[in-house]
Copies of this chain bind each other. A is one copy, B any other.
Amino acid sequence: MSKEKPSLYSYFRSSASYRARIALHLKKIDFKYEAVHLLKDGGQQHALNFLAVNPMGQVPTFVDGMNVISQSMAIIDYLDSKWPEPRLFPQNEAERASVIEFCEIINSGIQPLVNLKVGQTLEKDLGATEAQVKQWRQGFTVRGFQALEKILARTAGTYCFGSQITAADVFLEPAVFSAIGLGVRIEEFPLIKKIHDRLSQVDAFKKAHPSNQPDTPLEN
């Protein structure tokens, strides 16, 4: 069991899966990519063979031997404990808290409000139009980005926190990808834009990009 490669259950467009992929590639962990299509067949995350792995039916799910972990914060924390190089959460308690705070503005402040399920609920239960769902998503993204930009004014160097890539960058880049897809003008957030331009040149971020996964459709 311990000889087997770990697996990542992932969907190419899922923002949280993208975070997990970046962390895996930064740490150069050899893993098996298991595609779970969130729309095809009524959502493959509800299929019995995936529910047997993770009864929660969520991606990303990381499987390492007996350990089955979902939630990107939990996965990245686990990777950081088991494969500490390069370290994504700083060891100094105050720096570490600042990086977690930044990640959580994205993880709990933006992403839960712009995801697929929420859009579906807005349409189904509240009769929201496509334009209203887009405006909702843009609104919560812009509000979160305003907070991130303020933090970056104090913390940014080459990357979000000084000169080393941290978990903050791992969370930022997928949020920027989503924001661009939503038509948010990221030029209005110059520090986010500058860091995004740099991160998009880093090999691990390129490998993890939604356009470059085994389940990315050809036309993407």
User: Chain B nearest CB: distance from A8 CB in Å?
Assistant: 14
Q: Are A101 and B74 in contact (CB under 8 A)?
A: yes
Bound form: Cα–Cα A100–B75 in Å: 9
Bound form: Cα–Cα A77–B75 in Å: 16
Q: Are B109 and A107 in contact (CB under 8 A)?
A: no
Bound form: Cα–Cα A73–B139 in Å: 24
Bound form: Cα–Cα A128–B56 in Å: 29
A contact residues, total (Cβ < 8 Å) = 42
* 0/1 string, A67-102, CB within 8 A of B gives 1: 101110111011001100000000001101110110
In the complex, which residues of chain B have a beta carbon less than 8 angstroms from the beta carbon of A125?
A: 132, 135-136, 139
Interface residues of A in 82-138 (CB under 8 A from B): 82, 93-94, 96-98, 100-101, 104-105, 107-109, 111-113, 118, 121-122, 125-126, 128, 132, 135-136
Decide yes or no: A98 and B74 within 8 Å by CB, A55-B150, A108-B112 being known contacts.
yes
Q: Are B126 and A132 in contact (CB under 8 A)?
A: yes
Bound form: Cα–Cα A94–B82 in Å: 9
Bound form: Cα–Cα A98–B126 in Å: 34
Partner of A82, one of B66, B93, B101, B128: B93
User: Chain B nearest CB: distance from A137 CB in Å?
Assistant: 11
Using CB atoms and an 8 Å cutoff, list the residues of chain A in contact with chain B. 55-56, 66-67, 69-71, 73-75, 77-78, 81-82, 93-94, 96-98, 100-101, 104-105, 107-109, 111-113, 118, 121-122, 125-126, 128, 132, 135-136, 139, 147, 150-151
